[in-house]
Amino acid sequence: MGLKQRMYDALAPEARQSGLSRVNLFILGLVLVSFLFLALETEPALYTQPSWQLVFDISNIAVITIFALEYIARVWSAGADPQYAGLAGRWRYMTQFYSIADLLAFLPELIVMITGANVSLLVLRVLRLARIIKIARFIPAFDALGAAMRRASSLLLTSLALAITIIYVSAVLLYFVEGLAGNEQEAFASIPRAIWWAVATLTTVGYGDVYPVTPLGRFCAGIIALVGVGVVALPAGVFASAFSDELRERELAKIKQELEASRAAAAAGRNDAS
């Protein structure tokens, strides 16, 4: 088995039956670390200190270099798979969704680093979010997320429409009630602002920056909260239940597959023996 094949087995997540290869675990860890640093880099208390600045610079260079090497290795070793062999195959590989994400994970910052171009830090950082797609490939749960949404799409849409309706109607109601009752606050001065109140209330977040102050407004808000909280929680509940079902089924399917594989192996062993 040549280097290319070994590299392919180590890098392609689909080349292994279950779990991640050590190389991919390392890449996964690196992405997580790079997100940790993305967060820390924006903190004034840290980036104003030269020592932390140095840490950020070094970690950035290291991450970009490794991702660049990883990209080259992925493209080269993709040839081990017949469908990506040859130049045309490589091109087909490189134009895939995940390959483009791999490229975006390091190229913009690499170019800026080399050319010293004066590009907004903000844009660079937004592009760095592309690395999240690198994780998505490794964690099947993200895949299950989409499947769960499709599975419950009709229920999800219905309950979401209902939740939005309740939020809108509640907001209009409190806009009228608080406005009529003479609340001169900014909070209920328009329906969009009242919607902000309704979302904060009906999701039970309740920041406390906006709340009714007139007796009638409080009475209406109390009724709305008591009744509406359940309706607005519907989409969340529907999704949670669909996602949990999806994950359970996948786990079951995996166990069944392993069982069949072991049975087939046992049968093959008996055949060999006889």
CA dihedral 57, 60, 65, 66 (to 10 degrees): 140
Q: How far is the CB of 139 from its own copies (least distance, A)?
A: 6
> Is residue 179 part of the contact set for its own copies (CB under 8 A)?
yes
Name the one range near its own copies by CB under 8 A: 61-69, 105-113, 219-227, 260-268. 219-227
Selected binder of its own copies within 208, 265, 271, 272 (CB under 8 A): 208
> Is residue 182 part of the contact set for its own copies (CB under 8 A)?
no
> Is residue 234 part of the contact set for its own copies (CB under 8 A)?
yes
Selected binder of its own copies within 3, 240, 261, 267 (CB under 8 A): 240
> Is residue 101 part of the contact set for its own copies (CB under 8 A)?
no
Q: How many residues in the shown chain lie near its own copies by CB under 8 A?
A: 79
- Which structure tokens are listed for 24? 């991919």
Q: From CA 37, how far away is CA 64, in angstroms rounded?
A: 13
> Is residue 112 part of the contact set for its own copies (CB under 8 A)?
no
**Looking only at residues 120 through 149 of this chain, which bind its own copies when binding is defined by CB under 8 A?**
122, 125-126, 129, 132, 135, 139, 141-142, 144-145
Kindly tell me which of 36 and 72 has the beta carbon lying closer to its own copies. Answer: 36
Q: How far is the CB of 94 from its own copies (least distance, A)?
A: 26
Phi, psi of 30 (to 5 degrees): -65, -40
> Is residue 165 part of the contact set for its own copies (CB under 8 A)?
yes
Kindly tell me which of 7 and 238 has the beta carbon lying closer to its own copies. Answer: 238
**Looking only at residues 29 through 48 of this chain, which bind its own copies when binding is defined by CB under 8 A?**
35, 38-40, 42-45
Q: Which of 234, 223, 164, 230 is nearest to 199 (CA)?
A: 164
DSSP letters for 149-190: HHHTHHHHHHHHHHHHHHHHHHHHHHHHHHHHTT---STTSS
Which stretches of the chain are DSSP H helices? Answer: 3-11, 22-41, 44-47, 50-77, 86-94, 97-104, 107-115, 121-128, 131-138, 140-151, 153-180, 191-202, 215-232, 234-273
- Which structure tokens are listed for 157? 């849409």
